[in-house]
């Protein structure tokens, strides 16, 4: 029941939350639900293999172009990316009313949940997890893909502490001109150049990684507190001196400083991150 993307986008999409069979899969409970989509647990009818099935929200005949573009972006990115730390896409499915992305099921929890559960992670665990994330993003960038929404809730961690980067709905190809000026992403993790309307590219992902790392080792994002209500508050906070918890090593502080540099040309590259001394003991 696979189909080309052009054929998929000719359909009128609607969502249903009842258990049902689509193609070779039985769709069960909703795993996550967002403004734009639901992700449901699925089982292959013949061998019972678990999958995560991303379904478009109920739209009826008034299809939202934005939502279609999100699915198109994820499809185009995942079909070209094959990496152990990036979620796998197995196939797309089309019915008379719906479009689905059949994805790898990750038996684990989000990094966001892990950080909350432990009130922050130690440097050793953070280093091990972060190295995997940086490796995945480096691979994306080598294939001209910018994720544009790197945050703890888009990073899965299993029991063996294996990291998987998910949700490429906001991703784009770096060669697309509109990719350089579009304002998108989750405010707390979004690079300052995006807010300021400056042309942006791969370094925006590096900034997001820096925010994630800070949250991992401290328990909270660097530019967000209980008084932060609007993106203007975040912009104001970004221009303040970065505060480091006293327990952080100099190596960790140095890496954070280099990733959370406002000036794009001075910000560390994703490949130089992999060579940073803080990662030297990662096996």
**Catalytic residue positions, numbered:** 149
Q: Are 172 and 148 in contact (CB under 8 A)?
A: yes
Give, in order, the Cα–Cα distances in Å from 7 to each of 22, 89, 184.
17, 18, 27
> Residues 6 or more apart from 69 whose CB is under 8 A from it?
none
> Residues 6 or more apart from 190 whose CB is under 8 A from it?
204, 207, 208, 234
| Residue 111 CB burial class (10 angstroms; 0-12, 13-18, ≥19) | buried
Q: Are 41 and 28 in contact (CB under 8 A)?
A: yes
Q: Are 101 and 53 in contact (CB under 8 A)?
A: yes
d(CA 96, CA 150): 33
DSSP secondary-structure letter at 185?
S
d(CA 270, CA 275): 9
> Residues 6 or more apart from 86 whose CB is under 8 A from it?
78, 136, 139, 140, 164, 165
A 10 A CB-CB count for 177 gives 8
């Amino acid at each position: 029941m696979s189909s080309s993307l052009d054929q998929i986008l000719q359909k009128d999409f609607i969502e249903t939350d009842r258990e049902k069979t689509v193609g070779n899969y039985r769709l069960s409970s909703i795993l996550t639900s967002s403004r734009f989509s639901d992700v449901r647990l699925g089982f292959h009818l013949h061998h019972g293999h678990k999958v995560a099935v991303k379904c478009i929200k109920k739209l009826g005949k008034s299809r939202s172009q934005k939502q279609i573009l999100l699915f198109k972006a994820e499809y185009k990115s995942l079909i070209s990316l094959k990496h152990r730390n990036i979620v796998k896409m197995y196939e797309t499915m089309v019915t008379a009313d719906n479009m689905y992305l059949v994805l790898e099921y990750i038996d684990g929890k989000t990094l966001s949940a892990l950080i909350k559960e432990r009130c922050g992670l130690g440097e050793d665990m953070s280093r091990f997890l972060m190295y995997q994330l940086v490796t995945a993003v480096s691979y994306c960038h080598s294939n001209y893909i910018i994720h544009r929404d790197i945050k703890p809730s888009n990073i899965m961690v299993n029991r063996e502490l294996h990291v998987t980067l998910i949700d490429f709905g906001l991703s784009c190809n770096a060669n697309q001109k509109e990719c350089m000026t579009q304002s998108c992403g989750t405010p707390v993790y979004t690079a300052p150049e995006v807010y300021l309307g400056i042309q942006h590219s791969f370094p925006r992902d590096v900034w997001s990684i820096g925010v994630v790392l800070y949250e991992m080792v401290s328990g909270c994002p660097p530019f967000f507190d209980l008084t932060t209500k609007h993106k203007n508050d975040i912009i104001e906070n970004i221009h303040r001196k970065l505060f480091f918890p006293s327990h952080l090593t100099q190596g960790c502080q140095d890496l954070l400083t280099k990733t959370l540099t406002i000036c794009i040309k001075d910000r560390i590259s994703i490949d130089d991150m992999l060579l940073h001394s803080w990662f030297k003991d990662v096996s």
